[in-house]
Structure 1
């Protein structure tokens, strides 16, 4: 069994190696929050190490996706009636494209921690894939042309959240509503449905992860009450683990040491370490260990070497031995958290919801390297490219650079 790695993830995503320095999807090339960038800033403020600041229209919590000189984000204006995609120049911060993808007369309600534009765009070649939950899914070209649109029917109740993934010619999405729950694969060139796998459970908002297990790809897809693994080519279920009562699941899985780490989210979050390689219902046989105190509802976990870093929504940081679940330390960061942690340039970046980013050293002992503050709300995860950090607030996108 193999840990998912940047090379394998890039091969699944594009059929070729990802260009160095790109950040094409939620949580980066490997989907697990790791960056190969170096010479990144350790400290910043509104007046320090800001290469540029781009004011953004509307509100969206999608993270920046970056390929080449283009940064793509989604946003919603007019109280969610206009669902838009923005393209920002990586070097200057100039908004190059501002395109309305969907217009909705009744966009519905959203949770106070959500937006109508929270799923992160996925870039492959000259195409950008966009998902606004039940409000619409689309593909646009990097020159701003809308190539196709479709609407997937399900009631997500609190607004859109889970981001798309690619496997070969398939665009795969979790659609876990209050009414129906399913995973669907669309033809990435046309938007037409290729396969759909229904599942039982509750509403959820997670982004799946494609990994290699015994040399074969598996789509690890958390939903309400269950996490399942599927063959991404066909949608056939391989294994499942139940976390009774878990719903509104948000964190994206991470994988390493023959384990995958998933959270049951609300109401009382439990983090599960699940051994890979099983078949069928492996709830009783493949759960290696659990963490209840300090498990996350929204932030994804971060695996660096043998250590697993877990940030709860209430700002409790726990460092664990990934293989055994043994706790190395647990510290209170303060603040509330939704963004997922980032490992880059040998550091771990932890961004809370109020613009404060705590930077720590990896390892078994808690060591704070810096604390940085920007104005505004910050629920989107940090992205990296071109020797810089790209951090989104509720009003602006920052390029942070030495």
Structure 2
């Protein structure tokens, strides 16, 4: 049975909220926080798409496919990774690591799947063994190519688990590179660095959230947020991010979420027992909601109807926070509701039509009323999941590890539309662009389209 905890709007909470709110010029009562567009609505320029929320405006996507139906093309990959492809215009950008430990950036033709560029970015061996709480080692389900590439204008940014951050032109010419481990210290995250960067107003914004080892050493290891100039690579700002906690609960694999309202923009970050936000122009922390203790955090935050939805990490409670013009420490009463059980460890939630959809790592899909947290339905899809669900044209695409994709209607009553399979291991989250669905397998990239 699902357990839901609702937070009433108490008098003392209203009084404290007045102190937290800062008036905004031209504020309208019906204005709400919305995702910042990361690119053209028909593209998929970053990990979770054009709004960073797993939702596409595409219409008439295929709901059925097989090796003989609606498979536009399939391209074999000499290497693998868990990064989601970035699809912009006629180009697909994809990162991988091969058996020679080469870290590569590929550019493919989105219409044919032909590999047009195959760029050696760096070389690095993926550490699979390391003493506990010393340096990072990688889980067997991923490697150095877990962070997803990001496309903005004439540039593509790539990041790898060895700390390499680089910008290339769309034609494949290197513009600049940094190594965040070399510059800010070795990663101490337990299971391998995997955060994807985001781009805002000509800045590449990256996060590192990791075990501080503060109980083991005199100088704790920093977690941080850093912004580089997209065109020059110059550091625009650097902000330490050191929430309270210890050991693995400080690890997070999440990607920042850009939100905006009435001319304000914020970078919202979840991980390390805290949800907080930063000014993307300066790196200044604007507010923080502490004490969200749960464990290492993989599921990233999403925005819907002015609420941030996230989990407290490691299958701990799913929660909704109603965004306001917070400043400083945000009290726990800002949490609108929580769901205590059957929450995801890895796949991020997706919001659509006033509902929040999740899938647990062991294949239980849930649909909740986004305002109240009340459950509409729960269904066991079968298999294990790491990919985050995506939404388009009133349908949700749930992709499990074995290449099985269950297509479900965005409705408060469970309605299965189709179940499709490809013969591959599918860990990466899908991308949707140009009316097609792109599925990255361990062996190949698949384009599903009519």
What TM-score bracket applies, with the shorter chain setting the length? over 0.9
SS in 2 for 1:285: helix
TM-score of the pair, normalised by structure 2: 0.83
Match of 1:60 in 2: 81
Match of 1:145 in 2: 173
Match of 2:434 in 1: 386
Shift of 1:19: 3.7
Q: List per-residue Cα deviations over 1:243-280 (Å, max 9, x = no partner).
A: 443333122211122210111222x4221211211222
TM-score of the pair, normalised by structure 1: 0.93
Specify which of 256, 273, 276 is matched with residue 304 of structure 2: 256
Within 2, Cα distance between the matches of 1:166 and 1:243? Answer: 29
Within 1, Cα distance between the matches of 2:177 and 2:127? Answer: 17
Specify which of 144, 147, 160 is matched with residue 116 of structure 1: 144
SS in 1 for 2:48: coil
Within 1, Cα distance between the matches of 2:74 and 2:171? Answer: 23
Rg larger in structure = 2
SS in 1 for 2:141: coil
Match of 2:55 in 1: 34
Cα gap change, 1:30 to 1:20, in 2 (>3 Å) = closer
Within 2, Cα distance between the matches of 1:165 and 1:216? Answer: 17
Shift of 1:106: 6.7
Shift of 1:214: 4.7
Count residues with an aligned counterpart: 391
Cα gap change, 1:55 to 1:320, in 2 (>3 Å) = same
Q: Check conservation: 1:254, 1:261, Cα contact below 8 A.
A: yes
Unaligned stretches of 5+ residues in structure 1: none
Residues 1:323 and 2:374 aligned together = no
Residues 1:72 and 2:119 aligned together = no
Residues 1:185 and 2:206 aligned together = no
Within 2, Cα distance between the matches of 1:160 and 1:98? Answer: 23
Cα gap change, 1:318 to 1:106, in 2 (>3 Å) = closer
Specify which of 312, 318, 321 is matched with residue 271 of structure 1: 318
Specify which of 119, 125, 140 is matched with residue 153 of structure 2: 125
Unaligned stretches of 5+ residues in structure 2: 1-30, 129-136, 212-220, 244-249
Q: Check conservation: 1:2, 1:215, Cα contact below 8 A.
A: no
Alignment of 1:277-356 (within 5 A): 277=324, 278-356=326-404
Residues 1:162 and 2:182 aligned together = no
Within 2, Cα distance between the matches of 1:381 and 1:110? Answer: 19
Match of 1:100 in 2: 120
Within 2, Cα distance between the matches of 1:4 and 1:140? Answer: 29
Shift of 1:322: 0.5
Higher mean C-alpha displacement, 112-121 vs 49-58:
112-121
